[in-house]
């Protein structure tokens, strides 16, 4: 489990084709490689991935993850290349502060940035989502975009908006995103379960 509070901004340093529809992705970060265990979970731009290797190369700490066919198909991971910036969050530990909302790292779909408006060092982002996911998004509700916990402002049909404060623009990948960019979307778990419950009620 995660909270959607980004702890590090990583960079893809290697993408290797390990087998058919399996890629090993190396990501540089600032953490001590001795502080992470093989098999640990890290949210990489919102995708929960398992650490399969860690160490230091060219004076940079790194860890590697394997992305299989479904992850490459259903998320933005299939488009990651050397130099791609990645939002990182280590898995939640008992006693950690819950600063965002409960995030599983299981991406529901990919949203597209339709428009971006800048004002007072902040930014308003308008995003379009797959129609099947739009019903899970509500004003003042929570979403995770590329692993970042955000509060929804307005919702219209299959679009919604979020306001990004200066700190978030500075420490995540949202600072450089432009219209047309794709982001991993995870809807609020409570919304998903509530919708499922309503589907099963007798009519």
Query: CATH number of 8-90: 2.60.40.2140, 2.40.320.10, 2.40.30.20, 3.50.50.60?
Result: 2.40.30.20
pLDDT tens for 48-57 read 999 999 999 8
Q: Say if residues 122 and 163 touch (Cβ distance below 8 Å).
A: yes
Please state, in angstroms and rounded to a whole number, the distance separating the CA atoms of residues 49 and 172: 18
50 catalytic, yes or no? yes
pLDDT on residue 152: 96
Q: Say if residues 162 and 123 touch (Cβ distance below 8 Å).
A: no
Partners of 149 in the β-ladder: 144
**Active-site pick, 28, 43, 44, 48:** 48
Instruction: Sketch the domain layout of the chain as residue ranges.
Output: 8-90, 109-198
Find the distance separating the first CA and the last CA of the chain, reported in whole Å: 35
pLDDT on residue 58: 85
41 catalytic, yes or no? yes
pLDDT on residue 196: 67
CATH fold match for the domains 8-90 and 109-198? yes
Mean pLDDT of 35-46: 96
Which helix H or strand E contains 61, and what residues bound it? strand 60-68
pLDDT on residue 98: 72
Q: Could you tell me the pTM of the whole model?
A: 0.92
142 catalytic, yes or no? no
167 catalytic, yes or no? no
Mean pLDDT of 15-38: 93
pLDDT on residue 192: 72
The fold for domain 109-198 equals Elongation Factor Tu (Ef-tu); domain 3 (2.40.30)
pLDDT on residue 79: 96
Mean pLDDT of 33-38: 92
151 catalytic, yes or no? yes
106 catalytic, yes or no? yes
Fill in the DSSP letter of residue 176.
G
């Amino acid at each position: 489990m995660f909270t959607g509070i980004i702890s590090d901004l990583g960079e893809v340093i290697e993408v290797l084709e390990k087998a058919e529809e399996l890629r090993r992705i190396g990501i540089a970060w600032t953490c001590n490689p001795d502080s992470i265990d093989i098999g640990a979970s890290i949210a990489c731009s919102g995708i929960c991935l398992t650490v399969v290797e860690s160490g230091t190369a060219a004076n940079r700490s790194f860890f590697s993850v394997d992305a299989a066919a479904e992850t490459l198909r259903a998320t933005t991971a299939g488009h990651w290349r050397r130099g791609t910036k990645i939002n990182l969050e280590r898995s939640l530990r008992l006693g950690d502060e819950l600063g965002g909302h409960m995030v599983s790292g299981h991406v529901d779909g990919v949203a597209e940035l339709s428009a971006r408006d800048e004002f007072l060092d902040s930014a308003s982002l308008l995003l379009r989502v797959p129609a099947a996911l739009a019903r899970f998004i509500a004003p003042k509700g929570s979403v995770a975009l590329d692993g970042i916990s955000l509060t929804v402002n307005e919702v219209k049909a299959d679009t919604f908006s979020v306001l990004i404060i200066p700190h978030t623009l500075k420490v995540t990948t949202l600072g450089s995103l432009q219209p047309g960019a794709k982001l991993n979307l995870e809807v609020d778990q409570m919304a998903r379960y509530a919708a499922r419950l309503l589907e099963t009620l007798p009519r």
